[in-house]
Amino acid sequence: MKHLTEQQIAAMAPNASAVANAKKIVKSGGFTHLARSADDTFYMGDCKGSGSSVYSVSVDFIDEAAPVCRCSCPSRQFPCKHGLALMLKLLEDEPWETCEIPQTILDKRARKEAREEKKEEKGRTDGEAKKSTKASKPASLAARTKKLKKQLDGLAMAESMVNELLNAGLATLKGSSLKTYQDLAKQLGDYYLPGPERLIRTLILQMQDLEKAGVENGIRERGIAESAGTLVRLRALIRKSRAWLTEKLEQGNVEDENSVLYEELGGIWTLDRLNELGLKKENARLLQLSFQESCDMARKELVDQGWWIDLDSGELSVTCHYRPLKALKYVKEEDSVSDMVRVPCLSYYPGTGNRRIRWDRQEFEPVTSAVMSEVRAHACASVKEAVKAAKNELKNTLSSGRYGCLLSYALIGHSAEELTDETTLGLMDHDNTTIRLADRPGDQPGVFRLTQLPDPGFLENQVLFGVLWYSTELHAICLHPYAVITDQAVVRLLY
């Protein structure tokens, strides 16, 4: 029998509700027939559907890293709840009949193998003929050059808007002028600039929220600071991008390259291109430290964000999975991962600090005490060192405003000398240096949950994972706690 874990099955599910529905099918005895091939690469079953309908479900494990679920139901989710339920049945100790692999499945395997061989052959020939291919397609180069020039025209238009706002003030962005800037944001999409378009939409949403807030000082001051920060980020993106695109045109280098500006302008990286640029690592071992879901109304998307640590290097990285609000039913939803993940080829996005990562294949392994020891060994022992590293990243106007770090601490509590307010918490390292713990606006709260931990020992001589960020209200760098790392487990504060 094929050995699977519930974590592996959940990772394949399009969303959490699909897993929940699959469990209901298993619990209610939805399968009337179960069979498997003698070589354990193929499993099939008949599952009760709505009314008198019965669905034929199968899972093909010829590629163990990427099982293929097939079902006769009309669902547009892959795998559907019936396919997930069939895999969940593998967790139960029940007898399965032995069957022959259907010819249709064998034919599909053969076609898939032929496609993969063709793809490998194409990859080999493409590598040899790369230079000649570029030389033989001047039209492609001309199209890219035209696109860069179009982007420069769009950036000039956006810069004019920014200068108007800087001269007139953010307070003028209201009423009828909001409609003008909304139209401008739409126009930037025609100039291949979805990145600046999103920033303008973000600015508009922030100013609309300010109007609703009225005269409440605390909320208004924070909103003004956020809006000003968005405007500064937009201005910096325009200036840096214009210089970058102009240089590329002058040098005749119109290909996408290892630069964070490509994605900031709205470019989309493929795994193949990232690997071509050498932004990859083979056989990486990762452990997720935190996971949260947020809604970006400027993008009109839900964002599934996970924080991961590379167990070998200690590098902290981020995964971001975007799901359009209008297509939530059809886009796979990411979820938290409690197992260790082994990735054959890990791809990095250009950037500094906590780089974004992606991969297409993974294997799950149990988290042992040895794994937790590796995580804790990568923790920084000094608050001063962590803050110094964060400053170098946070001063970059194009940064996310967060700097993930692992900090070894002696104590978390109200007793730090600088923290006279009893409602605040601070972290003290083993050199008696303290830093204030505060929730970053826009993120899920984590500070209060530290006071709700069941074991007081979690607040002494442990390791904390969190993000360092600059508070415009306190005029200081604060630490937003995401998880406590003990020698046995990752105790998550965000969920």
The reported pLDDT for the residue numbered 351 is 92
pLDDT of residue 135: 45
What's the angle, vertex CA 330, arms to CA 329 and CA 336, rounded to 5?
A: 80
Residue count of the chain? 495
pLDDT of residue 143: 87
Quote the pLDDT of residue 195.
Answer: 94
Number of H helices, E strands in the chain: 14, 17
What pLDDT sits at residue 141?
84
Q: What pLDDT score was predicted for residue 56?
A: 94
Hey, what long-range contacts does 423-427 have (CB within 8 A, 24 or more apart)? 425/450, 425/451, 427/383, 427/464, 427/479, 427/481
pLDDT tens-digit series, residues 252-303: 888 878 899 999 999 999 999 999 999 999 999 999 999 999 999 999 999 9
- Identify the pLDDT of residue 330: 82
pLDDT value at position 137? 60
Question: What CA–CA distances, in Å, run from 6 to 3, 85, 89, 335?
Answer: 10, 11, 11, 13
What is the reported pLDDT for 131?
47
- Exposure string for 267-293, b = 16+ CB within 10 A, e = fewer: eebeeebbeebebbbeebbbbbbbbbb
Q: pLDDT per residue over 315-345, tens digit each?
A: 999 999 999 999 888 888 898 999 999 999 9
Task: Identify the DSSP state of 79.
Answer: S
**Whether pLDDT at 416 is above 50:** no
Report angle CA 65, 66, 72 to the nearest 5 degrees.
150
Quickly state the pLDDT bin for 139 (edges 50, 70, 90).
low
pLDDT tens for 71-102 read 999 988 889 999 999 999 999 888 899 999 99
CB 296 within 8 A of CB 43: no
Q: State pLDDT tens for residues 222-233.
A: 788 888 999 999
Tell whether pTM > 0.95.
Answer: no
- Residue 478 vs residue 217, higher pLDDT: 478
* Average pLDDT estimate for 352-379: 95
Higher-scoring residue by pLDDT: 294, 126: 294
Query: HSE on the CB side for 441, CA within 13 Å?
Result: 14
- Position 211 scores a pLDDT of 78
pLDDT of residue 134: 45
Report how far Cα 254 is from the mean position of its chain's Cα atoms.
28
Contact by Cβ (8 Å): 40, 90? no
Report d(CA 406, CA 378) in Å as an integer: 7
User: Of 250, 259, 433, whose CA–CA distance to 351 is shortest?
Assistant: 259
* 106 Cβ contact list (under 8 Å, min separation 6): none
Query: According to the model, what pLDDT value does residue 415 have?
Result: 56
pLDDT in tens, 145-193: 999 999 999 999 999 989 988 888 887 877 778 888 888 889 998 999 9
- d(CA 495, CA 472) in angstroms, rounded, equals 26
Q: What is the DSSP letter of 356?
A: B
Q: What is the mean pLDDT of residues 237-241?
A: 96
At residue 136, the pLDDT reads: 39
